[in-house]
Chain A
Amino acid sequence: MYRIVSKKLLNPTVCMMEIEAPFVAKKAEPGQFIILRVDESGERIPLTVAGFDREKGTVKIIFQIVGATTLKLNALSEGDFIQDFAGPLGVATRVEGLRKVLIIGGGVGCAIALPIAEKLSANGCEVTSVIGFRSKELLILEDEFKAVSDKLFVMTDDGSYGERGNVCVPVSRILSEGERFDEVIVIGPLIMMKFAVEAVRPYGIPCTVSMNPIMIDGTGMCGGCRLSLNRDGEKVIKFACVDGPDFNGYEVDFDEAMSRSAMYRDFERHAYEETCNLFKKKGVNK
């Protein structure tokens, strides 16, 4: 059992928790993920490591309350325990040797991008960050990004904060003005990553994306997390949990990944509604 050391809502639908998990905290690196189960009968879900404190033995997770499991997780409070917390899984984001990097984060993906930006900045790398949200209420981690970025662009789709438009707007502008980076790292919803990759492609800068397909074991045993890469005209199948979650953005078949991520949409919607109703009946407040 793993104790929830602290809990904080970052916006109405995004929650941050610090979990006591000394083994994971000792090893975790930005870009890796954990798998958790909320309770004895819960499903296994992957969440990316959003931070860690090796001394305190805690790992930070940030999650959007979108389905039955995240709803249940969010119903727990400081001091409560979650059943299982395994990791760190996957390969850490490669940061060695990078001197100048463009980081693009979308929505809750910013939570994953932040520790990478922090690590890069600590390594003396120049960091430009572009973070995008649907609107002002959904904005998270602005101050944290400011602290580690040499330049920061905040975007909202509706223009309620920062600049109006999606993340591709400043990205295309910066690149077309001639600025160059050793690498571009994109983390966010699939559709956003797809378009961000296309915005970067003409400039040929190495572009890494972080994939988050449906997973079960997270150890390579089931193949449910597979995705296709198009490598020199050949289709290559990779398992996101062991080969990723980072992949070369130019190679990823995003359309397939989007299609696969919707495989259980009806089931998930139903489970979410059931859990909402159950909580309403029991009077659990969010």
Chain B
Amino acid sequence: MKPNMSLKKNPMPSQDPKVRARNFKEVALGYDEAVAIDEALRCLECKNPACVAGCPVNIRIPEFIKKVKEGDFEGAYNVISETSSLPAVCGRVCPQETQCEAKCVRGIKGEPVGIGRLERFVADWHNAHSEKTPECAAPNGKKVAVVGSGPSGLTCAGDLAKKGFEVTVFEALHLAGGVLVYGIPEFRLPKKIVGQEIENLKAMGVKLETNIIIGKTLTVDELFDMGFEAVFIGSGAGLPRFMGIPGESLKGVYSANEYLTRSNLMKSYENEPVTPIMKGGRVVVVGGGNVAMDAARTALRLGAEKVYIVYRRSMDELPARREEVEHAIEEGVEFKLLNNPVEIIGFNNPDDPRDPKNGFVTGMKCIRMELGEPDEKGRRRPIEVPDSEFLLEVDTVIMSIGTSPNPLIKTTTEGLEVNRHGGIIVEEVSGKTSRDGVYAGGDAVTGAATVISAMGAGKLAARSIAEFLLK
């Protein structure tokens, strides 16, 4: 087979921006078989593949792509699933441009191979054509508890089930999936895909207990009393942060977590929702990560007339996945870069304290920023430009400026050490915490990070737990 030397990736078929900005259906439609093979042919099968080193879980990329070239899609899936548990998810949400694809030699001159798109294709192909559940070793009679059903917990549970452990996942909410169901919107990651992963786990014998808050309903120590011999904590990033500027408690100010939870988990985008959300009007999202992009694009789909993103640095520093930024721009989100909010203004009728409009947001005051000297991390520090304040007229403000750890588990688990930011401390090589038999991973350890790193941490902990319990 001759390599495809085109400098460009095969474009991703997508819904038209004007149409999709008003619906919640998935934006990217995926490659078909012919396009996938054509894209696979762009891979040169390097002897020392840099892409593999760029992948946080070291998927053997050229090997799976070779199978795609040969039309052996199930074979390609088998290669991926040896190191990754959630390929249909990661193919959609991984920041490939800073990981595998950043290292691809084809990227030196032209665009890198569309590794993420191929991963997604292979996983979707498998889900559409294969009913096989992964094989599990014979039960070894040992019970493990997993706290949280985000990517780290689901991965840890799946790997342990494969090794013959009896696994129970405890989830605080009524639905499993963590950020994959309450945070990342349907148009980027259809809930059906997450649901399928969870059904797979159940088919492997993993038990799922929703509505159980570890630290409240049960403590980690009680889990041991109940006969679990090891516990994995994958409880996620925690509490949303606010800026501490005046007006943040006005009606119409949301954290991105609240806004996205209302829309995704509680389905307030439906025609007759039971959980309300402020729709329409002018919306500003503060922040520049994936979460901010998701909130902004959700606002459009909920019917906003105008959506702004206010971010204090410039385009080059935006931490979101490149593709999400491009999609947001195509859909009409307006970026107000190098700006920072200083105050949120609310309606106040001085003559009538009972005016129902009182206390609703009417605008956000911002100040312009410029980039100064780079800080320790090499990121140029934004500095305020004196006397440059201006008012942005908006009805809804969504704060998307990060999270701080949830203290629930820490405060109820004696001997569990956390760092000064509140993240659980683990041994890097094993995922083991300061408590014997307790392991942790994902955002609960690192602070808000990525699906793939959470998944990698779940895998590592599963391996360590197996060693610990089977030694």
Contact = CB atoms under 8 A, between A and B. Distances in A.
Nearest to B399: A223
A88 B217 contact: yes
B119 interface: no
A221 B216 contact: no
Interface string B134-165: 00000000000000000000000000000000
Contact of A84 (B174, B240, B408): B174
Interface in B386-417: 406-408
B28 to A, nearest CB: 28
A86 B236 CA distance: 19
Nearest to A37: B174
B3 interface: no
B257 A221 contact: yes
A13 B254 CA distance: 32
Q: B interface, how many residues as a size bin?
A: 35 or more
A222 B217 contact: no
Contacts of B251: 259-260, 262-263
A86 B359 contact: no
B208 interface: no
A230 to B, nearest CB: 12
A277 to B, nearest CB: 12
A27 B174 contact: no
A84 B173 CA distance: 9
A177 B275 CA distance: 48
Given A43-B275, A263-B251, A222 B408 contact: no
A243 to B, nearest CB: 10
Contacts of B408: 219-220, 242
Contact of B213 (A69, A216, A219, A256): A219
Given A85-B211, A242-B407, A23 B276 contact: no
A237 B257 CA distance: 17
Q: A interface, how many residues as a size bin?
A: 35 or more
A86 B258 contact: no
Interface in B248-263: 248-249, 251-252, 254-255, 257-258, 261-262
B275 A223 contact: no
B274 A86 contact: no
Contacts of B407: 242
Interface stretch (A50-58, A116-124, A145-153, A264-272): A264-272
Contacts of A268: 276
Contact of B257 (A223, A227, A256): A223
A227 B248 CA distance: 10
B119 to A, nearest CB: 29
Contact of B240 (A42, A88, A223): A223
Interface string A17-37: 000000110010000000001
A82 to B, nearest CB: 11
A220 B266 CA distance: 16
Contacts of B315: none
B249 A265 contact: no
A222 B257 contact: yes
Contacts of B262: 216
A271 B274 contact: yes
Given A83-B174, A219-B408, A226 B266 contact: no
Interface in B198-225: 210-213, 216-218
B242 interface: yes
A260 B249 contact: yes
A242 B406 CA distance: 9
Contacts of A262: 251, 356, 359
B274 A228 contact: no
Interface string A244-281: 00000000010010011011110110010010000000
Most B CB contacts (10 A, CB to CB) among A85, A239, A263 go to A263
9 contacts: A23-B218, A42-B274, A43-B266, A216-B266, A219-B172, A223-B258, A226-B249, A256-B249, A267-B276
Interface of A: 23-24, 27, 37, 41-44, 68-69, 83-89, 216-217, 219-224, 226-228, 237, 239, 242, 253, 256, 259-260, 262-265, 267-268, 271, 274
